[in-house]
Amino acid sequence: MNGKRDYYELLGLNRSASGEEIKKAYRKLALKYHPDRNPGDKRAEEQFKEISEAYQVLTDPEKRVQYDQFGHSAFGDGGPFRGGFDFATGFEDIFGDIFGEFFGAGTTRRRTRTRGEDLRYNLDITFEEAVLGTAKKIKIPRQAPCDSCRGSGSKPGSSPRTCPACRGRGQVSFQQGFFNVSRTCSQCRGEGTTISDPCSSCNGAGRVRKLHTLSVKIPPGVDTGSRLKLRGEGESGTSGGLPGDLYVVIQVEPHPLFIRDGLDIICEVPISFVQAALGTDIDVPTLEGKVKMKIPPGTQSGKVFRLKGKGVRDVQGYHQGDQHVRVILETPTHLTPRQKELLKEFAELGGQEVHPLSKGFFDKVKQIFG
């Protein structure tokens, strides 16, 4: 059994605590156990690591959900966040966020690594492409590292200089009561460096907007609203930060013959009066081509037949739906005089015996209304 203490217990919180409550609790405990205030105290150092780990998990929405559901096992060998925590970067981010206003002396702030923004791309595909799968090439405009300065923002041959105002710390300090208070340096905006000779290609931003072409594989079974996540294909990060992700949102065009209902496909096929009465074999369109389907004698309009396994395969490939064929009886129009004569003769010969549905309906009407 994992011997770690519960993260909420470490911070003195209940499980419904808000993000602001988590931040306040962590600030209070971190001030108490920070190594700078407890030099040589191994227990305080261990406490600081534990509460920082708890803060890192509980302020990350995705990690918090996993922790609430699986506890510490979510971060073990079989958990979705296996591999543990990167305290080298995690502490730096937390420390910069929480302690920037409390500690000034002895802390050096690096250039802030910011993850790139996620992007969305709406992709229209045909009905067949959605059901059978396809590959598409798309072009997206996005921010990418400048080729000229390689993302530094400085003119080739030069480099960013240490900020003279904060001497590279990214912060300026002053005394307030018992604390040495720090504020973000206004000259370098916390970067710790300034660019005196900016790159002409990106005007010192380190990034430029480019049109990026990539191939997107559409798996069989997607439908309108399906989202495909392409990791690292969003906007580039700043100062070496990770790029964002690209979300491709699917929009399926309607089909002239087929209607999709989950994994099933519905198709309406017209048949003549003679075909319905005498029975026949008809060609029915499917996504895999035409197939023969038997129409038994006496088939009524609206009758639904099932073609097993002719529907949509799910995205995982485990299940496949069916195709449902609804036959619609087509009433003849523009009859010739001879055709009208034959139909009248047919009606006189058959009477109600050839119309069992009508006979049954009117018998019920007679029973109810007399």
User: How does pLDDT run across 284-295, given as a tens digit for each residue?
Assistant: 999 889 999 999
Listed residue (217, 216, 219, 215) closest to 133, CA to CA: 219
Q: Give me the residue label for tokens 């309607």.
A: 254
Both 263 and 133 in a single domain?
no
Both 266 and 356 in a single domain?
no
Q: Is residue 141 in a domain?
A: yes
Average pLDDT for 38-62: 86
Q: Is the dihedral of CA 309, 312, 316, 317 positive or negative?
A: positive
pTM over 0.85: no
- The band of 353, judged by pLDDT with boundaries at 50, 70 and 90, is low
Both 114 and 245 in a single domain?
yes
Q: pLDDT value at position 86?
A: 46
Nearest 5°: phi and psi at 89? -95, -35
Both 206 and 159 in a single domain?
yes
Range(s) of the domain holding residue 357? 336-370
Could you tell me if 311 and 261 are in contact, meaning their C-beta atoms sit under 8 angstroms apart? no
Q: pLDDT value at position 4?
A: 80
Q: pLDDT value at position 213?
A: 92
Q: pLDDT value at position 102?
A: 46
Higher per-residue pLDDT: 12 or 82: 12
Q: Is residue 23 in a domain?
A: yes
Q: pLDDT value at position 104?
A: 41
Average pLDDT for 111-127: 86
Residue type, 326: R
Q: Is residue 370 in a domain?
A: yes
How many Cβ atoms sit within 10 Å of the Cβ of residue 143?
Answer: 23
Q: Is residue 191 in a domain?
A: yes
Q: pLDDT value at position 76?
A: 63
Q: Is the dihedral of CA 40, 46, 52, 56 positive or negative?
A: positive
Q: pLDDT value at position 279?
A: 95
Reduced to 3 states (helix: H, G, I; strand: E, B; else coil), residue 78 is coil
Residue type, 239: S
Burial code of 51-90, b = ≥16 C-beta within 10 A, e = fewer? bbbbbbbbeeeebbebbeeeebebbeeeeebeeebeeeee
Above 80 in pLDDT, residue 222? yes
Which of 32, 65, 99 is the last residue before a domain boundary? 99
Q: pLDDT value at position 317?
A: 82
- Of 69-83, 233-247, 289-303, the range with the lowest mean pLDDT is 69-83
Above 80 in pLDDT, residue 343? yes
Listed residue (340, 280, 288, 330) closest to 312, CA to CA: 288
Q: Is residue 215 in a domain?
A: yes
Tally of domains within the chain = 4
Q: pLDDT value at position 154?
A: 82
Both 292 and 178 in a single domain?
no
H or E element, residue 339 = helix 337-350
Q: pLDDT value at position 11?
A: 92
Tens digits of per-residue pLDDT, 121-142?
999 999 999 999 999 999 998 8
Could you tell me if 336 and 359 are in contact, meaning their C-beta atoms sit under 8 angstroms apart? no
Q: Give me the residue label for tokens 């036959």.
A: 327
Q: pLDDT value at position 139?
A: 92
Q: pLDDT value at position 77?
A: 55
Above 50 in pLDDT, residue 110? no
Both 52 and 4 in a single domain?
yes
Higher per-residue pLDDT: 75 or 335: 335
Q: Give me the residue label for tokens 């989202």.
A: 227
User: How far apart, in whole angstroms, are the C-alpha atoms of residue 336 and residue 191?
Assistant: 90
Both 248 and 260 in a single domain?
no
Both 77 and 198 in a single domain?
no
As a whole number, the mean pLDDT across the chain is 82
User: How far apart, in whole angstroms, are the C-alpha atoms of residue 250 and residue 126?
Assistant: 10
User: How far apart, in whole angstroms, are the C-alpha atoms of residue 297 and residue 15?
Assistant: 67
Which of 43, 73, 99 is the last residue before a domain boundary? 99
Reduced to 3 states (helix: H, G, I; strand: E, B; else coil), residue 225 is coil
Q: Give me the residue label for tokens 């595909």.
A: 125
Q: Is residue 48 in a domain?
A: yes
Listed residue (229, 224, 288) closest to 262, CA to CA: 224
User: How far apart, in whole angstroms, are the C-alpha atoms of residue 363 and residue 370?
Assistant: 10
Tens digits of per-residue pLDDT, 294-333?
999 999 999 999 999 999 999 888 899 999 999 999 988 8
Q: Is residue 104 in a domain?
A: no
